[in-house]
Amino acid sequence: MATLTLPEDSYRELYGPTPSYMPSGGWDTREPDKLVKTHCCFCGVQCGIQLKVKDNKVIGFEPWEEFPVNQGKLCPKGVKRYMQNEHPDRLLAPLIRNHEGFRDATWYEALRTTPKAIKDVQATYGKDAFAFLGGASMTNEKAYLNGKFSRIALGTANIDYNGRLCMVSAGAANRMAFGVDRAANPWSDIPLAKAIVLTGTNLAECFPILTDCVWRARDNGARIIVIDPRVTPIARTADLFLPVRPGRDSALAHGILHVMIEHGWIDEKFIAEHTHDFDKVRDLAKKYSPQVAEKITGVPAKNIIKAAEIWGPVETSMLLHARGIEHHTKGVENVLSYINLVLASGRIGKPGCGYGTITGQGNGQGGREHGQRCNQLPGGRDINKPADRQFIADFWGIPEAELPKQGLTACEIIDAIERGEIKGLLSISFNPLVSIPDSNRTRAALEKLEFFACIDFFLSETARYADVVFAGSLQEEDEGTVTTGEGRCVRLRNLVPPPGYAWLDWKIICELADLLGKGQFFKYRKPEEIFTELTAASKGGPIDYRGMTYQKIEQNMGVFWPCPSREHPGTPRLFEGGKFHHPDGKAKFHAYEYRPPAEDVDAEYPIFFTSGRVVSQYLSGTQTRRIGSLLDQYPEPLCEIHPLLAGKLGIKDRDLVKVTTRRGEMTLPAQVVKRIRPDRVFIPYHWAGKKAANQLTNRALDPISKIPEYKVCACRVEKVAEAPKAVTSLNGLHRLIAKTPNSRASTM
Ligand SMILES: Nc1nc2c(c(=O)[nH]1)N[C@H]1C(S)=C(S)[C@@H](COP(=O)(O)OP(=O)(O)OC[C@H]3O[C@@H](n4cnc5c(=O)[nH]c(N)nc54)[C@H](O)[C@@H]3O)O[C@H]1N2
Ligand SMILES: Nc1nc2c(c(=O)[nH]1)N[C@H]1C(S)=C(S)[C@@H](COP(=O)(O)OP(=O)(O)OC[C@H]3O[C@@H](n4cnc5c(=O)[nH]c(N)nc54)[C@H](O)[C@@H]3O)O[C@H]1N2
Ligand code: SF4
Ligand SMILES: [Mo]
């Protein structure tokens, strides 16, 4: 296919001058003052990277080849991550809203206003009427601090975090099946597997560096099964691709198990010695013959049999999944149904044998371990267990009765604001207006708040609704630790100070605690002191970091938990010798019948709608929509639609289409591609306002994990206009918008 090339000068004309945050000529080739080993700020792979610092600015990167996970490799986002550092939109001072809009404020004003407003809300409506929302892009230290701040300084039960939108279905299922929530294997086990199932993950776009482990497995003779309703880049290379109908995974897993049992491809000895409840699952699987499973899932029976033939008899295997099976009202049931396949094979807890959910956010793993969840205390302790409550109350030096009980989850907090039960909110590292389903309702809720404060380094779409915005810190401005998707706790380095009058996040939280009268609990001089405290708080808990120190983590390029003592080397592979983390050491099978999604297709809304990601953008986009060269790769959301469906609706590539669900509508260009099933459309969710996929999605929650059903609802699609003639100049316009300093308003 011919590609359009433009001479350098006309490119400039179209896109304007190179903005100040991007060194002219592209790469900055100046000799750096220092080169610092740290990690990428984006996904849960947490690739090692060396950042170049000159005059207190991050000016570029070098590969860090010794870090074992990525060995110097980086994906497009990792390569461009440093470009946020000098972005003109960076918040440099706190903002306070008055009747005319935001104005720059002093820290004195922002810090006096906020505790007063918190106290007013709590005095009038009760402690729980003030909620806290945290995030899993932040360090372990900040995750711990958020939980302690909410319970002690705010005294509220209502603290939760954005991981509630992410891997909580897997977390709950892992605890139910294995008694612990962590990937069972280090990623170095992937190349040793002879069969790999990847289900509900667009691996090559979302975890590009992990794809390398799968290639290495294939070089070693592994066969790869991909289960996804879209032919994603990894699916194109699979040995077997199962294009499942959205929301039907549990039926597919039962169908595969049916064939495994029929052929005796199960490990009876392992099942008898190390598990409970297989009989219930055997009875259930009997009902899901390949033909029955085909009817539900749309996957031909012969391919279900083929999957069992590949997975059943091999010696080593790994099953990996991400949000495609978890973002459902039965996300936990889907995950448990796939775990059944792993337990039945007996291939877990050995080299090249295991299972894992691929954690999404940078600290998606650590962010869910140290107590910023509504049902959790540090060390993965349970807020509802009397002994766990007593341990943490004693550790913090407060009476157990003062420790709040379990509160609401993230989406439930937004619902409670909508109902007028929660009146105040402090949010850090979370952009719910873009990321929570049914954004029209989220916006209405934010408008109802009597007081709302946000801590961010950019004015996110959510922050625009705040009364006070605190200018917080970027990853490279602070230090601390994060725990990668394989359970390896690694060290992040402080490279540069926050610019202007921005502050370190943890200092803002500690200062607020002090002004709320609880300063004696938050006397930290540096993040290392918070880390030492969190490791002590985790002692003897389900998630034990007790034996970790900054020094040990650095020396070993990360330490895997559990690590209960200084001498302990850490635990890369869980469940060795078939020892699971339930009190009796056994794993549990779970038998859940398939049940349909909360909203199925019907005559009025006949097409499935689903949402997810593209390689060059990250989450709600606040960070990556500000990096022009990433935006170039995918400037605006497109509606993926199969040629058969497009033909039926009279839609051609790049025509403008209106997608409507029971909650809202959006108009966007169509992308006619064969990689999607003809019964569904897909829209990536990294944009805001009228371009937000979450105008359409359904806020129905999984009853156990409380994750929303992002991956399936029902929609209608209509053509509204022909493709504009000059599509390329439209893209140019987007690039210009993204790079101009006043992009705040224009990216809405
Ligand atoms: N480029 C990029 N990388 C990222 C992120 C990002 O925003 N951008 N975010 C990070 C985060 S926080 C996360 S959580 C991960 C997410 O990583 P993934 O879960 O891999 O990505 P998604 O695009 O959300 O969805 C995964 C796949 O699930 C498929 N799917 C949808 N419905 C179903 C179903 O019913 N069954 C099955 N089997 N599959 C289904 C979709 O077609 C899609 O290909 O990525 C991380 N990495
Ligand atoms: N339709 C649809 N919606 C989805 C999904 C989907 O697949 N489809 N996926 C869901 C998933 S898996 C996830 S994880 C969520 C993510 O949703 P969000 O967590 O809302 O998305 P982020 O872009 O991470 O927003 C975080 C905000 O925190 C800021 N931030 C990042 N790091 C820091 C930090 O260290 N300190 C401070 N102070 N601020 C920081 C960023 O600038 C940004 O404004 O979206 C969910 N929403
Ligand atoms: S794979 Fe993830 S951690 Fe690695 S460079 Fe890409 S975004 Fe960063
Ligand atoms: Mo996520």
Domain boundary among 333, 357, 381: 357
Burial of 91 (0-12, 13-18, 19+ CB in 10 A): buried
Q: List the CATH number of the domain containing 660.
A: 2.40.40.20
- How large a percentage of the chain has pLDDT more than 90? 88
pLDDT of residue 726: 60
pLDDT at 531 over 90: yes
Amino acid at 361: Q
pLDDT at 738 over 80: no
Residues 147 and 293 in one domain: no
CA of 163 to the centre of ligand 4 (A): 6
CA of 609 to the centre of ligand 2 (A): 21
Q: Nearest ligand to the C-alpha of residue 143?
A: 2
**C-alpha dihedral over 384, 385, 386, 390, to 10 degrees?**
-90
Residues 439 and 554 in one domain: yes
- Residue 254: closest CA among 215, 294, 196: 294
The stretch 265-284 carries a mean pLDDT of 98
Q: Rounded to an integer, what distance in angstroms lies between the CA atom of residue 574 and that of residue 350? A: 9
Mutate to test the pocket of ligand 3, among 39, 45, 46, 213 (most ligand atoms within 8 A of CB): 45
Range of the domain at 30: 8-84
- In DSSP terms, 656 is beta-bridged to 669, 721
Contact 114, 468 (CB under 8 A): yes
Q: Rounded to an integer, what distance in angstroms lies between the CA atom of residue 664 and that of residue 444? A: 14
Ligand 3 atom with minimal separation from the 78 CA: 5
Decide if 180 is inside a domain: no
Within its chain, how far is the Cα of 175 from the centroid?
19
Residues 50 and 76 in one domain: yes
Residues 461 and 541 in one domain: yes
- pTM of the entire structure? 0.94
Decide if 742 is inside a domain: no
**What average pLDDT does the structure give for the chain?**
93
Which residues are CB-neighbours of 241 under 8 A, at least 6 positions away?
Answer: 225, 226, 227, 228, 231, 235
Cα atoms found within 13 Å of the Cα of residue 632, Cβ hemisphere only: 11
CA of 719 to the centre of ligand 3 (A): 37
Contact 461, 443 (CB under 8 A): no
Residues 367 and 352 in one domain: no
Residues 731 and 643 in one domain: yes
Q: pLDDT of 414-445, one tens digit each?
A: 999 999 999 999 999 999 999 999 999 999 99
Residues 500 and 448 in one domain: yes
Q: List the CATH number of the domain containing 40.
A: 3.30.200.210
Mutate to test the pocket of ligand 3, among 207, 210, 211, 486 (most ligand atoms within 8 A of CB): 207
Question: Which of 180-189, 348-357, 440-449, 730-739 shows the lowest per-residue confidence on average (mean pLDDT)?
Answer: 730-739
CA of 41 to the centre of ligand 3 (A): 8
The stretch 495-501 carries a mean pLDDT of 95
Identify the residue whose tokens are 């401005």.
477
For the beta carbon of residue 468, count every other beta carbon within 10 angstroms: 23
Residues 205 and 291 in one domain: yes
Burial of 586 (0-12, 13-18, 19+ CB in 10 A): middle
Question: Which of 26-40, 369-383, 467-481 shows the lowest per-residue confidence on average (mean pLDDT)?
Answer: 26-40
Can you give 71-106 as a three-state secondary structure string?
CCCCCHHHHHHHHHCCCCCCCCCCEEEECCEEEECC
pLDDT at 7 over 60: no
At 165, list the tokens.
């939108």
pLDDT of residue 81: 81
Decide if 27 is inside a domain: yes
Decide if 581 is inside a domain: no
Confidence of residue 633 (pLDDT cuts 50, 70, 90): confident
Ligand 2 atom with minimal separation from the 458 CA: 42
pLDDT of residue 6: 32
Residues within a 6 A CB radius of ligand 3 = 40, 42-43, 45-47, 70, 74-75, 77-78, 207-209
Confidence of residue 627 (pLDDT cuts 50, 70, 90): confident
At 567, list the tokens.
């001498």
Number of independent structural domains in the chain: 4
At 360, list the tokens.
């999404």
Q: Rounded to an integer, what distance in angstroms lies between the CA atom of residue 482 and that of residue 489? A: 6
Residues 368 and 511 in one domain: yes
CA of 322 to the centre of ligand 1 (A): 6
Question: What is the SS3 assignment for 703?
Answer: coil
The stretch 725-734 carries a mean pLDDT of 51
CA of 562 to the centre of ligand 2 (A): 28
Element (H, E) at 668: strand 665-672
Residues 448 and 540 in one domain: yes
Ligand 2 atom with minimal separation from the 620 CA: 23
Confidence of residue 83 (pLDDT cuts 50, 70, 90): confident
Contact 336, 176 (CB under 8 A): yes
Decide if 661 is inside a domain: yes
Q: Nearest ligand to the C-alpha of residue 319?
A: 1
Q: Rounded to an integer, what distance in angstroms lies between the CA atom of residue 521 and that of residue 669? A: 53
Q: List the CATH number of the domain containing 157.
A: 3.40.50.740
Q: Nearest ligand to the C-alpha of residue 358?
A: 1
Q: pLDDT of 661-709, one tens digit each?
A: 999 999 999 999 999 999 999 999 999 999 999 999 999 999 999 999 9
Confidence of residue 26 (pLDDT cuts 50, 70, 90): low
Burial of 658 (0-12, 13-18, 19+ CB in 10 A): middle
Residues 115 and 208 in one domain: no
pLDDT at 9 over 70: no
Q: Rounded to an integer, what distance in angstroms lies between the CA atom of residue 497 and that of residue 503? A: 9
CA of 705 to the centre of ligand 1 (A): 18
| Number of alpha helices (DSSP H) and beta strands (DSSP E) in the chain | 26, 30
Confidence of residue 717 (pLDDT cuts 50, 70, 90): very high
Protein residue with least CA distance to atom 14, ligand 2: 166
**C-alpha dihedral over 83, 88, 89, 94, to 10 degrees?**
120
The answer to whether the CB of 94 is under 6 A from ligand 2 is: no
Ligand 2 atom with minimal separation from the 623 CA: 42
For the beta carbon of residue 240, count every other beta carbon within 10 angstroms: 18
Decide if 460 is inside a domain: yes
Residues 402 and 331 in one domain: no
Decide if 602 is inside a domain: no
Comparison of pLDDT for 305 and 727, the residue scoring more: 305
Which spans in 488-618 are helix H?
505-513, 527-537, 550-555
The stretch 113-135 carries a mean pLDDT of 98
Q: pLDDT of 455-486, one tens digit each?
A: 999 999 999 999 999 999 999 999 999 999 99
pLDDT at 740 over 50: no
Q: Nearest ligand to the C-alpha of residue 135?
A: 2
Residues within a 6 A CB radius of ligand 1 = 43, 166, 199-202, 205-207, 227-230, 232, 244, 246-247, 249, 322-325, 360-361, 610, 612-613, 615, 617-619, 711
DSSP string, 344-360: HHT--SBTTBEEEE---
pLDDT of residue 728: 46
Contact 69, 484 (CB under 8 A): yes
pLDDT at 8 over 50: no
Decide if 579 is inside a domain: no
